[in-house]
Structure 1
Amino acid sequence: MMATIIQVDEYGNAYFDATDFNMIDFSLGDALLMRIGEKKFEIPFYSGPYCKMNESTLIRKKDKIFLSIRHGCAVKKYNLHIGQHVTFFLLFSKKYWEKENAYSFEEITDKSTYETNEEFANFRSILPHGGLFYRSSSPVDNTYNRSSSVISCIEKYKVSTIIDMADSQEELDNLINELDDETRSIIRTRRIFAIGDDSGLYSQSFSESVAIAMRLIISAKTPCLIHCRAGKRRSGFTCAIIQALYGMSADKIMEDYMLSYKNNNKITFSDNPKRYEYLKNDTIKAILHHINGTDLCHLRETTEQYLIHLGLSSEEISLLEQKICQ
């Protein structure tokens, strides 16, 4: 079938006339063959940006259908423009269904469905010995309706330092300016560092943010809170390094990471073991393999080598471990 581009946005996504797809039996999770001129490409058809960095996806979200590249620009890569025709064919039915089924969930924003403020805020200590290091959803970005709950936890657990893995300094300043006076005062009385990066967990840019976070932790006044937007990927990556240096096992690190799916999306092993295991393998297990390689039995040593690769010195790593284990 042939679809017409009717809009492009500032992110480089190309939107098609959705009515072009009405008579075609494409299903989410299918593999499609996309033809632009004489060039052909296989792409997945998803309900969200579930692909890896720099991979192309055709996305159907509500009543819109668009071509997107995660952390990239589809318009530039494929030289697209409004009015251009792109042809799609069904290549393999349900080839990508497992990923589509695993990731097609909503963020739960109703606090009344949670037993504790901490669960709704996705707020918890990341180490077995308690409250020196915490992780959570964002205290300043209320996209998921959780910021006030995070603020309450910041006060309750006397957080002194906040490391924001989601926002740039400009973005953080804008978000803080939108807060009410009382909340703004609570945030401003803490040391807060904005080192956010959304270029992908395995990008050079994010690696640089992780290195900055580790150096901040060395001199940080504790308790210290690490957060991103929902408190999953970017904060989870950073916390996994801290947990590995502390001596936690891969199983314990993965178990902690998956609590964020429970707190944000009510996804648990007992309710849906297949989805839980898929998400675990696709997220935190992949993160651990990126940091540590194939050996997940000697995490402390391989994490130290990873940090050396990021540019930290042996002395900095020693100081970091002392801070984490105090």
Structure 2
Amino acid sequence: MFNKIVMAVLFAAAFALCGACASGSRVGADSSVGSVNVSETVAPKAAAKEVKGVITSFEKYGHAVLNIPIQDLLSNGFELGDGVTVEFSNGYRLKDIPFYNGYYVKKGEPLLRAYPGHKFAAVCINYGKINEIGGLKEGNACTIRLTSKGRYFREQALNSLSYSDNRSDYESDEVFANFRNVKVGDIGAGKLYRSASPIDNSHSRALYADQLVQGARISLVLNLADSRNDINRYTEKDDFKSSYYIRLFDSGRVLPLSLAVDFSSSDFKTKLVDGLRKLADMNASGPILVHCTEGKDRAGFVSALLEALMGASYEEIVGDYMLSYKNYYSITKEKDSQKYAVIVSNNIDEMLKVIAGVSDAKNLSREGLRNGAMRYLKSGGATEEQIRKIVSMLT
């Protein structure tokens, strides 16, 4: 991750360089992808550049990591926002996909990723496992060709996001840990909280989140990101300081669900609803915490599901989801309406479509969202009584 966010400077610089990138004159850059059609704004140009490598490993969520350093791509004339064609030795081919520094494509779409803080490039499918979809294996050879110079540059500039892992860059512990009490719909004050991980310190937030969790007297936790083995592994690290969280874990008050990132998958629903059923059967009265790693996407989906169940409006659910983008990236509707709208469209709208089983989330009424959430839970195996208990715990 970048050590310092300077969002305004990045955004302005990206657009200032747009003309140079369209002409193919600038080499080297950095950032991610979006879903805005700019074929009329940037005129793509073909370029006979290619880099070869192999798949060295697959990440937890199926992304194919290559032995091609990101810097090698940049040094060879590839820029973030270019269109590239990726071809593997097993015949799997991805034509003219974006080269981004983040997951700025819609669910199910591919990208060549140059993630901040990572040394090597990866080929990914957003919310999908490219290893399964493409039939890929470690050792498969890969050729990356530059096919459309600057084709996706505006999306890269529009969506490019990074945040700091330094506490001093944030106005409060709550903002840094993305910690908050969710108070929308019929959810009672002090009943539901969400946050970044209080146990995984990969973003230096665990201690702050743990102290906030203790201050809120959280008694039950839905850990969406980790398995029991993951949690035990965190406790063995030198920087482990999450004393309150581990006491909850040792007393059986943490439910580790280890969810993948594809919120539309049947496996995600099965594991999530199973965890909520266990939560309901515990019939506890104390505050509940929902978290993943950043407390943004998986926690965002589960929070939206519970908010919909509790009668929150579309606007309330979107507002709560976007607080995470305010906390991490200082993005608000007032400061940057264009980025705000793209994030809503690409992320929380897609989540609400899955929850409610509809094609257009924006037209959902409170009752439509509530009914959709109930259908989602029932289709995952929850009983009427378990749903009633969840509602009672949150009221």
Where on the TM-score scale, by shorter chain, does this alignment land: which range?
A: 0.7 to 0.9
Aligned partners of 1:111 and 1:204: how far apart in 2?
37
Which residue pairs with 1:168 in the alignment?
227
SS at match of 1:283: helix
Aligned partners of 1:78 and 1:180: how far apart in 2?
38
Deviation readout 1:87-135 (Å, 9 max, x if unpaired): 514247434742x334422232222233322222211111243101100
Which residue pairs with 1:296 in the alignment?
364
Which residue pairs with 2:168 in the alignment?
112
Q: Give the superposition deviation at 1:257.
A: 0.6
Which residue pairs with 1:234 in the alignment?
298
SS at match of 1:13: strand
1:45 to 67, 86, 99: 99
Aligned partners of 1:318 and 1:296: how far apart in 2?
22
Is 1:200 matched up with 2:291? no
Taking structure 2 as the reference length, the TM-score comes to 0.73
Deviation readout 1:168-187 (Å, 9 max, x if unpaired): 11101211343778733553
Q: Give the superposition deviation at 1:320.
A: 2.1
Aligned partners of 1:122 and 1:161: how far apart in 2?
18
Which residue pairs with 1:311 in the alignment?
381
Aligned partners of 2:306 and 2:110: how far apart in 1?
33
Farther off after superposition, 86-95 or 279-288: 86-95
Over 3 Å counting, the alpha-carbon distance change for 1:262 and 1:7 in structure 2 is: same
2:348 to 264, 276, 284: 284
Aligned pairs, number? 323
Aligned partners of 1:87 and 1:78: how far apart in 2?
18
Q: How do 1:256-295 residues align onto structure 2 when only pairs under 5 Å count?
A: 256-292=320-356, 293=358, 294=360, 295=363
Amino acid corresponding to residue 56 of structure 1 in structure 2:
P
2:57 to 2, 6, 9: 9
Native 8 Å contact 2:85 2:145 kept in 1: yes
Aligned partners of 2:264 and 2:92: how far apart in 1?
29
Aligned partners of 1:250 and 1:157: how far apart in 2?
27
Deviation readout 1:53-102 (Å, 9 max, x if unpaired): 6643222346643434454245993657769462514247434742x334
Aligned partners of 2:228 and 2:385: how far apart in 1?
28
1:86 to 139, 143, 160: 143
Q: How do 1:210-225 residues align onto structure 2 when only pairs under 5 Å count?
A: 210-218=272-280, 219-225=283-289
Aligned partners of 2:257 and 2:380: how far apart in 1?
16
Native 8 Å contact 2:223 2:291 kept in 1: yes
Native 8 Å contact 2:214 2:244 kept in 1: no
Farther off after superposition, 53-62 or 104-113: 53-62
Amino acid corresponding to residue 187 of structure 1 in structure 2:
I
Q: Give the superposition deviation at 1:304.
A: 1.0
What is the Cα-based RMSD across aligned positions, in Å? 2.9
Is 1:143 matched up with 2:202? yes
Aligned partners of 2:241 and 2:132: how far apart in 1?
44
Aligned partners of 1:230 and 1:313: how far apart in 2?
30
Amino acid corresponding to residue 164 of structure 2 in structure 1:
I
The runs of 5 or more residues in structure 2 that have no matched partner are 1-48
Amino acid corresponding to residue 370 of structure 2 in structure 1:
R
Amino acid corresponding to residue 296 of structure 1 in structure 2:
L
Aligned partners of 1:309 and 1:148: how far apart in 2?
37
Aligned partners of 1:16 and 1:178: how far apart in 2?
30
Aligned partners of 1:82 and 1:41: how far apart in 2?
18
Which residue pairs with 2:24 in the alignment?
none
Native 8 Å contact 1:240 1:253 kept in 2: yes
Deviation readout 1:176-228 (Å, 9 max, x if unpaired): 34377873355314611111212422122211222023213322442111100
Taking structure 1 as the reference length, the TM-score comes to 0.86
Aligned partners of 2:140 and 2:273: how far apart in 1?
45
Q: Give the superposition deviation at 1:311.
A: 1.7
Aligned partners of 2:258 and 2:137: how far apart in 1?
30
Aligned partners of 1:291 and 1:220: how far apart in 2?
25
Q: Give the superposition deviation at 1:308.
A: 1.5
Considering Cα pairs closer than 8 Å and 6+ residues apart, tell me whether 1 or 2 has the greater RCO.
2
Over 3 Å counting, the alpha-carbon distance change for 1:84 and 1:141 in structure 2 is: closer
The runs of 5 or more residues in structure 1 that have no matched partner are none
Aligned partners of 1:120 and 1:308: how far apart in 2?
36
Q: Identity over aligned residues, as a percent?
A: 26
Q: Give the superposition deviation at 1:229.
A: 0.4
SS at match of 2:326: helix
Native 8 Å contact 1:5 1:14 kept in 2: yes
Aligned partners of 1:20 and 1:117: how far apart in 2?
38
Aligned partners of 2:286 and 2:104: how far apart in 1?
35
Amino acid corresponding to residue 208 of structure 1 in structure 2:
T
